[in-house]
Structure 1
Amino acid sequence: MTTPRASLRASVVIVSRGRPDTLCLCLAGVARLRRATYEVIVVADPGGCAAARALPFARQLKLIEFNRANISEARNLGIAQAAGDVVAFIDDDAVPEPRWLDHLLAVFADTRVAAAGGFVRGRNGISFQWKARTVDDTGQAHPIEVSDTRATLLAPPAGRAVKTEGTNMAVRRDVLADLGGFDPAYRFYMDETDLNMRLARAGHATAIVPLAQVHHAYASSTRRSADRAVTDLRDIGASQMVFLRRHHPDAEAWPGIIGTVRAEQRKRLLEQMVDGRLEPGDIGRILRGFDAGVTEARARALPFMPRIPASPRGFLPFASRATGPVEVLSGRIWSRARLRRQAAERAEQGATVSLYLFSHTGLFHTVRFLPEGVWLQRGGLWGRSERDDPVWRWWRFASRVRRETARCAHLR
């Protein structure tokens, strides 16, 4: 069975704490989504709410002030205010491609689809952090092959769930409400993985939507520094223990599983020490935090999650700022100041603008979203963009612009 695509409405939920600047950049991207009917719900600390209220479209936001360090509780507050048919989630340190929500919503026209997730690009705007994965009852994720262009509907594999990423996922609101939303026992990490397992056990199908893409920057937090060095593993240890209590019935196996996860985290810390991002003395301290989290979570209360009632507020449609055509601007790197001004002017007038700036080099390309609403791609004329491209390839300027425009056409 199918539902008319045009009739589906989405509620986009963004949780933020301690990162007002990245929240504003995320909202600048969400404000320019194309081809979708949606509302925007922000659950943030006082600093985040103040930053959101200063934005020109603040009156179109549903703002909820929340200042506890519990992402599951915060997301549930967002769900409680969501009046859309589908609830979509994106992190405050991510920015969606303009057609992100359009592609996610499209798969929900198939009534068999209960949840969906898209591909996630990293901070260079090119490489993928995650594509498609499944997860088992220990919390271990396993990559799977799916189409890079077409949505794939997946039934839950035996003993596993289809993995979606918290920074790029959507769930039917009625399904999410029936499951009680996210489990508050996960204050950070594995909250969406737990939801994936509960969706699977209820027999729900999940679609992987490769063209529903977000760019995830991994901004600094109380758990990692600006260069992505780990500073605290307490919540990761705690969430791993909660996940085993919820989903892995063989308690005798827990110490071995925890030991494997701890060894993986230790390896990651040592690699960061070799890179110069951590000091040798940091390793033991951070791992002791992991152990403390595991110990605390063994006794942590596992709450009952009642059904989330319907929103007390009606749907608040967001008027996207992307009201004009899709446009491409391009030029040599020495023209960047003029072209950026021109691109910003066109974005202000409602265009969805991609700006390509190429140097006469073989430099790898990067992509980032600018606060003024422009997608900027920079790199060498002969350098690679997609990471499976040749390291160096001869291009004429016009043909390179056409190639990069075509590469992003279905995203914008």
Structure 2
Amino acid sequence: MTDCAVSVVVVSRGRPAALTRCLTALTQQDHPRFEIVVVADPSGIEAVGNLDFGQHLKTLEFDQPNISAARNRGIEQAAGEVIAFIDDDAVAEPSWLGHLVAPLARCDVAATGGFVRGRNGISLQWGARVLDALGAARRIDLDPIRPTVLTPPTGHGVKTEGTNMAVRRDALVRLGGFDAAFHFYLDETDLNMRLGQAGLRTALVPLAEVHHGFAPSLLRRSDRTPRDLFDIGASWAVFQRKHVPDVLHAAQWSGLRLEQRDRLVRHLIAGTLEPRDLRRLMARLDAGYDAGRERTISRTPIARHPAAPFKRFPGAVRRSLLFAGRIWSRKRLMSQAAAQVRAGNIVTVIILSPTALFHRISFHPDGYWLHQGGMFGKSDRSDPLVRFVSHARRIERERDRVARQRLLAD
């Protein structure tokens, strides 16, 4: 299964710049047989057409605010044995796809999920989690390197993230894909619960990493301040109807509603919302919940055979290179990195200043991984506030921390 045909489905709406960055990272995947299926609005399709590699992608125009329906359209076009999903505001490490699909070599594994780094590129946004019978996610400890195959108890699920997961195509056909009643939020959670109900096993894969930046959308700002809670309310109502006993609905909704209000109050204290925003957003949450109680629950028939043949992305033999230096070498290092990316290589750049600034990792629009921070500052947020170390040792430490994900040779 390590060389199986994989379709990577990317859904995008209103974020052409983020989509371009996501796709650029996908071109550097080390997996030998994959295609990329882009389901996007007109601005996204136009952005794909402007890419040097755009002709190698499958594209499908879709301009409805419904991520589940969009993913189902992507599944219809996907011709891989396995279908992987990543959001347009995420970027995948070069080893992502290889690590993510490796556990599917076991015939008893139907789905996999990886780990997600947050906006600083270092801290975990989402790690290993499981779902209880009410859909609540709980963190669990797993081996930090090797994949772990889990069989959830009856009525429970293994949590995967919509921006970092893969499912066998035949399992998606059997389950009817994503439920289009979930326009946004809980879409993959519902699928996780249905995988568990069908007795299908899921592997969690720590080394299959993507970086997720929370790009702005109609539903949230770039600082994660919510703009609208309607779909969150609607999705919880649909989820309850599908998975939660009727007698528990009112109590669960009361608790969920309080959680959302507490979140808004935190934004209010931080100054990112005003009191009138809190009232408006809570009213939208309640309106969404009422709408979700009436929304049609669907099972999309997914054709056993894809609508289009496999469109293999042209592979290349890539070297993974590392350039490192001090802050005054920044311009030269970044120029060298961009040139090596154009030559077809995977590039990591580490630029350190003589300070204790915290470290950050980002994927540069020119196609290389950029690590920045102080020589004495934190990378992992559990590190000491200041660590006195030589420049060479610090570079070595940062290299070792990402070597597996970045395919850096020993």
> With structure 2 as the length reference, what TM-score do the two structures score?
0.97
Q: Does 1:76 align with 2:76?
A: no
Q: Are 1:180 and 1:308, in contact at CA under 8 Å, matched by a contact in 2? A: no
Aligned to 2:185: 189
Deviation at 1:306, TM superposition (A): 2.4
| Residue aligned with 2:355, SS | coil
CA distance in 2, matches of 1:44, 1:211: 28
Q: Are 1:116 and 1:169, in contact at CA under 8 Å, matched by a contact in 2? A: yes
Equivalent AA in structure 2 for residue 60 of structure 1: H
Which residue among 173, 178, 193 is the counterpart of 1:177? 173
Runs (4+) of structure 1 exceeding 3 A deviation are none
Equivalent AA in structure 2 for residue 402 of structure 1: E
Q: Does 1:258 align with 2:253?
A: yes
Aligned to 2:121: 125
Between 1:303-312 and 1:368-377, the stretch displaced more is 303-312
Equivalent AA in structure 1 for residue 113 of structure 2: G
CA distance in 1, matches of 2:222, 2:286: 24
Equivalent AA in structure 2 for residue 132 of structure 1: A
Aligned to 1:368: 362
Which residue among 318, 325, 331 is the counterpart of 1:331? 325
Q: Are 2:111 and 2:168, in contact at CA under 8 Å, matched by a contact in 1? A: yes
Which residue among 313, 335, 339 is the counterpart of 2:308? 313
Which residue among 212, 215, 218 is the counterpart of 1:219? 215
Deviation at 1:126, TM superposition (A): 0.6
Q: Does 1:405 align with 2:399?
A: yes
Aligned to 1:267: 262
1:231-262 C-alpha deviation (Å, 9 max, x unpaired): 100000000000000111x2122111111111
Identity %: 49
1:312-368 C-alpha deviation (Å, 9 max, x unpaired): 221101124x63211110111121111100111011111111100001111110000
Q: Does 1:202 align with 2:198?
A: yes
Q: Does 1:146 align with 2:142?
A: yes
Which residue among 357, 377, 384 is the counterpart of 2:351? 357
CA distance in 1, matches of 2:143, 2:267: 33
User: RMSD of the alignment, in Å?
Assistant: 1.1
Aligned to 1:393: 387
Aligned to 2:281: 286
Which residue among 153, 156, 174 is the counterpart of 1:160? 156
Matches within 5 A, 1:226-245: 226-245=222-241
1:169-210 C-alpha deviation (Å, 9 max, x unpaired): 000011111111000110000000000000000000000000
Structure 1: which 5+ residue stretches go unaligned? none
Matches within 5 A, 1:68-107: 68-107=64-103
Deviation at 1:307, TM superposition (A): 3.8
Q: Are 1:139 and 1:240, in contact at CA under 8 Å, matched by a contact in 2? A: no
Deviation at 1:305, TM superposition (A): 3.1
Which residue among 318, 321, 340 is the counterpart of 2:334? 340
Q: Are 1:352 and 1:374, in contact at CA under 8 Å, matched by a contact in 2? A: yes
Deviation at 1:158, TM superposition (A): 3.5
Equivalent AA in structure 2 for residue 331 of structure 1: G
Equivalent AA in structure 1 for residue 255 of structure 2: T
1:282-309 C-alpha deviation (Å, 9 max, x unpaired): 0010010000000011111112332433
1:70-106 C-alpha deviation (Å, 9 max, x unpaired): 1011000000011111100000000000000010111
Q: Are 1:324 and 1:349, in contact at CA under 8 Å, matched by a contact in 2? A: no
Equivalent AA in structure 2 for residue 228 of structure 1: R
CA distance in 1, matches of 2:265, 2:361: 30
1:96-120 C-alpha deviation (Å, 9 max, x unpaired): 0000001011111111110000000
CA distance in 1, matches of 2:379, 2:240: 40
Q: Are 1:36 and 1:101, in contact at CA under 8 Å, matched by a contact in 2? A: no
Q: Does 1:44 align with 2:40?
A: yes
Aligned to 2:31: 35
Aligned to 2:56: 60
Q: Are 1:95 and 1:214, in contact at CA under 8 Å, matched by a contact in 2? A: yes
Q: Are 1:178 and 1:308, in contact at CA under 8 Å, matched by a contact in 2? A: no
| Residue aligned with 2:404, SS | coil
Structure 2: which 5+ residue stretches go unaligned? none
> With structure 1 as the length reference, what TM-score do the two structures score?
0.97
Q: Are 1:117 and 1:168, in contact at CA under 8 Å, matched by a contact in 2? A: yes
Q: Are 1:146 and 1:152, in contact at CA under 8 Å, matched by a contact in 2? A: yes
| Residue aligned with 1:324, SS | coil
| Residue aligned with 1:182, SS | coil
Q: How many residues align?
A: 406
Aligned to 1:116: 112
CA distance in 2, matches of 1:35, 1:252: 48
Q: Are 2:152 and 2:201, in contact at CA under 8 Å, matched by a contact in 1? A: yes
| Residue aligned with 2:59, SS | strand
Equivalent AA in structure 1 for residue 325 of structure 2: G
| Residue aligned with 1:209, SS | strand
